[in-house]
Chain A
Amino acid sequence: METAQDTLQTEAQAETSKTLFKGTGSQVLLNGLIEEGVTTIFGYPGGAIMPIYDALYDYADKLEHILVRHEQGGIHAAQGFARTSGKVGVCFATSGPGATNLVTGLADAQIDSTPLVVITGQVFAHLLGTDAFQETDVINITTPVTKWNYQVTDANEIQEVLAKAFYIAKSGRPGPVLIDITKNAQIQIEEFPEYIKCNHIRSYRPKPKVRVEYIEQAAELINAAKKPFVLFGQGVILGSAEQEFKAFIDKTGIPSAWTIMGEGAIPTSHPLNVGMLGMHGNYGPNVLTNEADVIIAIGMRFDDRVTGRLDKYAKQAKIVHLDIDPAEIDKNVKADVGIWGDCKETLPLLTNLVNENKHEDWLGVFKDYNQQEIDQVITSELYPEGEEITMGEVLRNINEICDGEAIIVTDVGQHQMVACRYAKFNNTRSNITSGGLGTMGFGLPAAIGAKYGAPDKTVIAIIGDGGFQMTPQELGTIMQFGAEVKILILNNRFLGMVRQWQQLFNDKRYSFVNITSPDFVALAKAYYIEAQMVNERENLRTALETMINHKGSYLLEVMVGRENNVFPMVPQGMSVSEIRLK
């Protein structure tokens, strides 16, 4: 006879069997990824990660795997995905060379605060330390370039570690996390409990409770300021605080300039957007940094490319610094008021306390400088009279065709500075570039990932002839998976930025910057990608339109002036006041 006691027990058993999953470590890893909302993985298989790939075979309907052509391409693609989608980018690689190929991407993601979860396979736990085939000490190699890393040697650790990894990657100041999983843990069969997301680690404080007294001190400085100036960085984008930021500057009427990582957080056309900071930034923002009386730095870290010579940087100004990472406050520039916190929380508090204002005269000074820059630099760059095509006019044409709606991914060098200077953006998460690390070869794979992260957008990868030759193998990924990327090679037949420095600072001693290129059009066609080359102005517009309107990926090579320089420029070691217009 069935008793009430029995019924209870059966129910309890049913409950347990519902939450338990029996399977391999690999399966429970993939289940965890699905629980975390992952849809796309960029990766490359190999011996030590084979069990995970074997499990992946059965998950094809839930997890899309993009087979890249090199692990560096995989991680840059994951970065591009994270940057356009705002989600955590996920990348797989095998042990040994697979894992070491990730290091550049990890360093790039670390310095540019890109949330990634990277899974590497590792040799069997009992082989660790024996110099086994394809064994490398991935954890120690990647420690300086990850926000967190962990080696899993037992399948029972996988769920907790994966949950922690996602939480760490995306919370606070985001960053890359690497999980190294030994092969035995991948094949180990266990009964696993329900996946629980992580939302607290006792030793980790992603953001503090905001202290109102510092907000009050900041508001006091801002309200008393005659010449306030806002510098904003990627923190505004990473914190999804674009609206809060716009509300703050709209109320205070403070001219605002961006670091290249912050570009696009407010539209290019916003009346208070006064342009770009730093070495190749705009004239006014650089010069006026040393005239402002209060500088409000929001989610930016005073990189040396922004500050120029530090002991001559903004010495006259009171500095208010808002950042989620306390280690950034007072790191390079001493803050008079440091506001540690998430700018999505701190900005509205600050907006409440500041007075409505319009700094028309002060904004007028920016406009005057801008006019000087237009007259001396911009017009000749965007509307050149010489025969050679300039990078600037290519960007002007793109702006006219796309009207600020495209996602622009750049590589590193002159074209990157020109693109960031002149590209028009209406939307956030549209400017994808390697800012802190300056990784040549970033552009093409990042553009692939950017397209997966924002499938409805036009994605244009602007790449130099040098940078393109660092990761051209990813054309194969485009060929196979059809990512609709518009590849625009600006070919000046030089490693242009290094050549510019050699011209300006090394007496034109062009040391190994004269780079030759293959027939890029033929190369693209070898990968069945439509392509053409343009070297005359009259064909430029049509070619760009053809590229952008083409259904599918496309490669356009534009031959640009060989020895054009990017100006303005703050020469290294000089103050931002000493910015050169030519």
Chain B
Amino acid sequence: MSTEDKIKYTEDTLDLDGKQEYTITVYAENRIGLLNRIAIIFSKRKINIESLNSSASEIDGIHRFNIVIHEGYEVVRKLARQIEKQIEVLKVYFNTNEEIIWQELALYKVSTDEIAEKVTVERLLRQYGASAVVIRKDYTVFAVTGHREETDALVKALEPYELIEFVRSARVAIIKDSAGFHEKLKEFEAEDPGEELVENEFLEKGEKIFTM
């Protein structure tokens, strides 16, 4: 699927301004200050980061950021290039929601009495696939992983039943078409990239995933 096809394909998910959710995946060195260097690329352009997760990646010592923004394709493409330009960033990918598998984790603290007394609460939790993390006399903590709409829906449903605390994590995402970073890293570590490992893909219109 070419880049142009991809834009057409995702057209129906665009809002009125031609914007949609993009998940930016950044592979980078684990270095103090890099998060700030990346974050200011967004704030410089007055773009709000909807969600940001920083974690380990499939490779020891290499960090993986997931950044979610709501923007147009052109803006995201330019942002990705600016991020990849940073010295300690190895690689940046950006993908629409159709191209990734993603999850967010939400925790809900509710009164144990409420749960014990009201069967409907229990039913709600079953319905949303929640699991109990902690059960104490006074409160119970449930966890739900899923998309934003799912975790949000449970908040709404729990509102009448004393939802004491709620928190949701940033999005973590896996790119469907990605073969991981192991092979790429070899190329980055080589002082002289060989012919087949050439890094000029931003011009490669035939890539399955958006990449520079």
Which chain A residues have a beta carbon within 8 Å of chain B's beta carbons?
139-140, 143-144, 147-149, 151, 168, 199-205, 208-209, 211, 214, 325-327, 329-331, 338, 340
* Nearest CB on A from B188, distance (A): 5
* Nearest CB on B from A447, distance (A): 31
Asked if A211 contacts B203 (CB within 8 A), the reply is: yes
User: CB within 8 A of B198: which of A143, A147, A199, A209?
Assistant: A209
Q: From residue 1 to 41 of chain B, which have CB atoms closer than 8 A to chain A?
A: 28-29, 32-33, 36-37, 40
Asked if B87 contacts A168 (CB within 8 A), the reply is: yes
Q: From residue 62 to 108 of chain B, which have CB atoms closer than 8 A to chain A?
A: 77-78, 81-82, 84-85, 87-90
Asked if A140 contacts B88 (CB within 8 A), the reply is: no
* Nearest CB on A from B74, distance (A): 9
Asked if B36 contacts A202 (CB within 8 A), the reply is: no
The winner among B84, B87, B88, B185 for most chain A CB atoms within 10 A is B87
* Nearest CB on A from B1, distance (A): 20
* Nearest CB on A from B192, distance (A): 8
- The answer for the CA separation of A326 and B211 in the assembled complex, in Å, is 12
A contact residues around B33 at 8 Å (CB): 139-140, 143, 149, 151
Asked if B203 contacts A203 (CB within 8 A), the reply is: no
Write the B157-176 contact mask toward A (1 if CB under 8 angstroms, else 0). Answer: 00000000000000000000
Asked if B88 contacts A144 (CB within 8 A), the reply is: no
B contact residues around A149 at 8 Å (CB): 33
User: CB within 8 A of A327: which of B28, B29, B78, B185?
Assistant: B78
User: CB within 8 A of A325: which of B77, B85, B87, B189?
Assistant: B85
- A326-B202, A338-B203 known; A201-B36 Cβ under 8 A: no
- The answer for the CA separation of A139 and B35 in the assembled complex, in Å, is 13
Write the B184-205 contact mask toward A (1 if CB under 8 angstroms, else 0). Answer: 0100110101010011101100
- The answer for the CA separation of A140 and B32 in the assembled complex, in Å, is 11
- The answer for the CA separation of A168 and B85 in the assembled complex, in Å, is 12
Asked if B89 contacts A203 (CB within 8 A), the reply is: yes
Interface status of B212 (Cβ within 8 A of chain A): yes
Interface status of B44 (Cβ within 8 A of chain A): yes
The winner among B89, B188, B200, B202 for most chain A CB atoms within 10 A is B200
Asked if A326 contacts B198 (CB within 8 A), the reply is: no
- The answer for the CA separation of A325 and B86 in the assembled complex, in Å, is 11
Asked if B36 contacts A143 (CB within 8 A), the reply is: yes
Asked if A203 contacts B188 (CB within 8 A), the reply is: yes
Asked if B202 contacts A201 (CB within 8 A), the reply is: no
A contact residues around B87 at 8 Å (CB): 147-148, 168, 201, 203-204
Asked if A214 contacts B203 (CB within 8 A), the reply is: yes
The 4 closest A-B pairs by CB, nearest first: A327-B81, A148-B87, A203-B90, A202-B188
Asked if B78 contacts A331 (CB within 8 A), the reply is: yes
B contact residues around A330 at 8 Å (CB): 77-78
A contact residues around B44 at 8 Å (CB): 144
- The answer for the CA separation of A329 and B77 in the assembled complex, in Å, is 11
- The answer for the CA separation of A209 and B28 in the assembled complex, in Å, is 22
Write the B27-59 contact mask toward A (1 if CB under 8 angstroms, else 0). Answer: 011001100110010001000000000000000
Asked if A208 contacts B199 (CB within 8 A), the reply is: yes
The winner among B85, B89, B189 for most chain A CB atoms within 10 A is B85
B contact residues around A140 at 8 Å (CB): 33, 36
A contact residues around B185 at 8 Å (CB): 202
A contact residues around B36 at 8 Å (CB): 140, 143
- A140-B33, A340-B203 known; A327-B85 Cβ under 8 A: yes
A contact residues around B198 at 8 Å (CB): 208-209, 211
- The answer for the CA separation of A195 and B191 in the assembled complex, in Å, is 20
* Nearest-CB residue, chain B, relative to A213: B203
A contact residues around B202 at 8 Å (CB): 326, 329, 338, 340
* Nearest-CB residue, chain A, relative to B83: A327
A-B contact pairs, 21 of them (CB 8 A): A140-B33, A143-B33, A143-B37, A144-B40, A147-B87, A151-B32, A203-B28, A203-B90, A204-B88, A208-B198, A208-B200, A209-B200, A211-B198, A211-B203, A326-B85, A327-B78, A329-B202, A330-B78, A338-B203, A340-B200, A340-B202
Asked if B200 contacts A211 (CB within 8 A), the reply is: yes
- The answer for the CA separation of A159 and B32 in the assembled complex, in Å, is 19
The winner among A139, A203, A211, A326 for most chain B CB atoms within 10 A is A203
* Nearest CB on B from A343, distance (A): 15
Asked if A209 contacts B193 (CB within 8 A), the reply is: yes
* Nearest CB on A from B202, distance (A): 6
* Nearest-CB residue, chain B, relative to A148: B87
- The answer for the CA separation of A529 and B28 in the assembled complex, in Å, is 53
- The answer for the CA separation of A545 and B36 in the assembled complex, in Å, is 53
* Nearest CB on B from A134, distance (A): 21
- The answer for the CA separation of A147 and B87 in the assembled complex, in Å, is 8
B contact residues around A340 at 8 Å (CB): 200, 202-203
- The answer for the CA separation of A329 and B203 in the assembled complex, in Å, is 10
B contact residues around A204 at 8 Å (CB): 87-88
B contact residues around A200 at 8 Å (CB): 191
Asked if A202 contacts B90 (CB within 8 A), the reply is: yes
B contact residues around A211 at 8 Å (CB): 198, 200, 203
* Nearest-CB residue, chain B, relative to A211: B200
A contact residues around B88 at 8 Å (CB): 203-204
* Nearest-CB residue, chain A, relative to B41: A144
* Nearest-CB residue, chain B, relative to A201: B87
Beyond the given pairs A205-B199, A325-B85, 9 more chain A to chain B contacts, judged by CB atoms under 8 angstroms and listed by A's residue number, are A140-B33, A140-B36, A209-B195, A211-B198, A214-B203, A326-B84, A327-B81, A327-B82, A327-B84
